Chain A
Amino acid sequence: MRVSPANTQRVAVGSMWALAAIVFAVLVFILAFILAHGLPHVTWSFLTQSPSSMGREGGIFPMILGTILVAGLAVLVAAPIGVATAVYLTEYTREGRLTAVIRFGADCLAGVPSIIFGLFGFVFFAIALGMGLSVLSGSLTLALMVLPTIIRTSEEAIRAVPYAYREVSFGLGSTRWQTVTTVVLRSALPGISTGIVLSLGRSISETAAVMLTAGSALRLPRSLFDSSRTLALHFYILSREGISMPNAYATASVLIIAILALNLLAYWLMRRFVAKVGR
């Protein structure tokens, strides 16, 4: 018997919906699983104390600080470079061989796996430049890793600013630089911030690159040249070496909550941007 197109459609679309439902079920399951096992162990003392006996006891304060330092510094370095690159590509040059080369570089960099960034950061920042396994080596490595994301999102945000804004600004006698800083970047700011916030999230989540460049010291980092263990790496070590499952779950919960918060922030910024530019 021939199946009618209408019935085929019913079955096919039904299975597509089922696939989509499975994906979202997996997402909810992962978040709920970690938070349900971990949140009960996230106490004030867990967040504010240093670990003892390799992380079996005590808290994760040095890792929170290490994560903020490594990820924050990475974004602090990458953001100005990325935004400047985007400004150059969109406002200061015509499309040509040079822009193609710059874009090609950014695209290739985006495809480089994190473990390769780790190897590079290790030989270049830690050894060749003598920074050792440190907060600085880790953050510079991550800066290079998130640079393409910041370039691409900034470029998109700047391109979304209506051309009329620039014309009005030029018409009022502004120079290109004045137009860029007072008109274009101001309008594109929420869009650019979205990319920066997502890069911060990626830096916090990264493990392989940080493991090879920032090291895994448990103590509180006192300077940028100290080794520091990030939350993601601490979670990996705790769970993999079976040091403490409750503390592993709790560390992962803190990590997940940070990621959730950053994603919400990025989402909110994006909506603001769409509302602003769409007007």
Chain B
Amino acid sequence: MKRDRLIGAMLLVVALSAISGLALITVFIFREGVPIILRVGAGQFFLSTDWEPSLGHFGILSMLGGSLAVTVGAAVIGVVFSLGLAIVLTQFAPPGLAAALKPAIELLAGIPSVVYGFVGVVTLVPLIRHFLGGPGLSVLAASIVLGIMILPTITSIAIDALQAVPRSYVEGSIALGATRWQTVTMVLLRAARSGIVAAVILGMGRAIGETMAVIMVAGNALALPHSPLDPVRTLTSNIALEMGYASGDHRQALFATGVTLFAIITLLNTAALAVSRRRAGRRRVG
């Protein structure tokens, strides 16, 4: 018994490593990044588009705009396809087919982001350049590539949300004479709404944090985009592109870019958590 308690205590120490890792990450990133934001001035840092590290100008507004643009674009594309997939797999596909297709979605999640970026550059980017104009490397290209990349995340959470809807809801709707499709739109999607919203928010978190694929297809231009065909640089690409040769204030400014990204992701994750909590709370009442 005594030995068991000792083992329990040792396991607890190990179990705290995830949260300590998170604490270490937060402390080290903020310690490197926050001082330069204060020195430059938060207004200047977040609201200026002037990023010229050699002159000591650090404004990340273009990157904020770039990240926002590709994330929203990716969410739109990701949501359409993910919801379609989740509905087909849970409601309309024969169980055998659904079981065979799920590993394929996992495989989609396993493909390295550099491969997505590369295939995007050699196939998608020339198509956009040829048919829609502009440089091809663009918000649109990044949105499509990211939309596909976040699809497995959104799909698997949406599938869970749809499967969590009590069978009696569906049966009640069918018994009232609704078609399967009416049941999907009027009962299932409504009942699973908060789970789906959480899925989309988590998907957006994925998209805004993605680095390599975006560097390859977004064009990395330092300006706010005016159209989906404009090239943009995201927060993540800014870090990955310049970290290799940055030092001093420049390096700190890149960490500050990381702090910004970290804050946005934490905000998104908290929102997703709050949405799914609310769902759990409501279910307990109902």
Contacts and interface: CB of A to CB of B under 8 A. Distances in A.
Contacts of B117: 236
A2 B152 CA distance: 37
Contact of B243 (A27, A175, A202, A212): A212
B29 interface: yes
Interface string A111-145: 11111111110111000100000000000000010
Interface in B165-195: 178-182, 185
Interface stretch (B52-60, B156-164, B265-273): B265-273
Nearest to A101: B19
Nearest to B33: A119
Contacts of A262: 110
Nearest to B116: A30
Contacts of B101: 20, 24
A237 to B, nearest CB: 10
A19 B265 contact: no
Interface in B1-15: 1, 3-4, 7-8, 11-12, 14-15
Interface stretch (A6-14, A46-54, A58-66): A6-14
Given A88-B14, A123-B28, A236 B114 contact: yes
A173 to B, nearest CB: 12
B115 interface: yes
Contact of B111 (A88, A205, A235, A239): A205
A180 B180 CA distance: 46
A92 B212 contact: no
Interface in A241-263: 248, 252, 255-256, 259-260, 262-263
A120 B110 contact: no
B113 interface: yes
Contact of B8 (A8, A81, A88, A151): A88
Interface of A: 5-6, 8-9, 12-13, 15-20, 22-24, 26-27, 29-31, 33-34, 80-81, 84-85, 87-89, 92-93, 98, 101-102, 104-109, 111-120, 122-124, 128, 144, 147-148, 151, 175-177, 198, 201-202, 204-208, 211-212, 232-233, 235-236, 239-240, 248, 252, 255-256, 259-260, 262-263, 266-267
Interface of B: 1, 3-4, 7-8, 11-12, 14-22, 24-25, 28-29, 32, 80-81, 84-85, 87-89, 92-93, 101, 103-108, 110-119, 121, 123, 148, 151, 178-182, 185, 202, 205, 208-212, 215-216, 236, 239-240, 243-244, 254-255, 258, 261-262, 265-266, 268-269, 273
